[in-house]
Chains A and B, each alone.
Chain A
């Protein structure tokens, strides 16, 4: 049985973040999720939406769309999309996490965090849109 997606489209800007957060929290609540899981969900949303706001439409502007559906109790399916340039964040190399402080690169940690916090993360490009789809929270490893 397919769950219908709830959907919100707003300008891809940092000042849309709070509205996107509030929107997804409604879904999280109906899935039975609470803090601290909702804080981790905020982090996932922020990392993806910041990338869209900073890079997808540069130097122009555009929208971001966030959709969610409660897949089962305790689990959300979330999809975040934009109509900006073709970009698959999952194809980027993982950041260098070793080495001394002076050599630690400052970027690349956002996508890394997302990959660690969600399940079934996929990217697709269809109808001129980039879409990241994932389940939240990530499935627990056995034990």
Chain B
């Protein structure tokens, strides 16, 4: 899994590419925590390149989203498709997140 951050005016975009599993889900969680600690309140996860996510990844998404919500911020998901989208659907997590097709749409909504 590769995480590429881009700092924008209204949010930080984290482009996640590859597989998020038990071995690396913590990397995503920690990357989010670092941005939150620096004052970022809106994180946009660009998941177009995410090929796989297990429950350990779901835990990371949930924990980050809950933390940001408690700080009046948000974790926004973009480009979720394929297996990861089905995993979010199966666990009824989709409705808990703001979802957009791509980053420009997410930015427009902020």
Interface size on B, residues (CB 8 A): 24
- Whether B87 contacts A113 by the Cβ 8 Å rule is yes
- Whether A113 contacts B91 by the Cβ 8 Å rule is yes
A39 adjacent to chain B (CB < 8 Å): yes
Which bracket fits the contact residues of A?
A: 20 to 34
- Whether B23 contacts A15 by the Cβ 8 Å rule is yes
Q: Which of A1-51 contact B (CB under 8 A)?
A: 14-15, 17, 36, 39-40, 42-43, 46-47, 50
Also in contact, A39 and B51, with CB within 8 A (given A14-B22, A109-B91, A113-B91): yes
Q: Mark A89-107, 1 if CB is under 8 A from B, else 0.
A: 0000001011011101011
Q: Which of A50, A95, A104, A116 contacts B96 (CB 8 A)?
A: A104
Residues of chain B touching chain A, judged by Cβ–Cβ distance below 8 Å, are 21-23, 51-52, 54-56, 58-59, 62-63, 65-66, 69-70, 82-83, 87, 90-93, 96
